[in-house]
Amino acid sequence: MIPAILCALGLSYAGMASLCLAMDRHHGQVWGRDAAPNVRRALQLAGAVLLALAIWPCVAGWSATVGVVAWLGFLSAGALLVALLLPYAPRLLLCSSLLAAVAALAGLVTFMR
């Protein structure tokens, strides 16, 4: 259960952070300039993919029905974390979301086996 929770939370957090950094206002908070169009596209795509992937550990950890409810909950939790961390520590948001994405994706591989 714990791996599923960490994996789902990591993916939703990283996904929401990615979507967040794709927005000019927030991109600027971290890098001090607007995002290039292709960077923005890439971040949006990565965010969407990470959020979609987060449903996997939820369904694996609970079930198809409970997993979807859990997924919605983790999406909210991930977004709240991003919104709270961003104004106080934008650099930390960047590093931690990268770390979360790598760790959660690695964790996801173990789920597939």
What is the spatial distance between Cα 103 and Cα 39, in angstroms, rounded to a whole number?
Answer: 22
| Among 74, 97, 101, 104, interactor with other proteins by CB under 8 A | 74
Look up residue 101 and give its two tokens: 């994405």
Full DSSP string of 41-58: HHHHHHHHHHHHHTHHHH
Residue type, 111: F
Nearer to other proteins, 35 or 75 (CB): 75
CB of residue 2 vs other proteins: minimum separation in angstroms? 9
Interaction between residue 31 and other proteins (CB under 8 A): no
Nearer to other proteins, 24 or 49 (CB): 24
Whether 5 contacts 62, CB under 8 Å:
no
Binding-site ranges for other proteins (CB under 8 A): 1, 5, 16, 19-20, 23, 25-26, 62-63, 65-66, 69-70, 72-77, 79-80, 82-84, 86-88
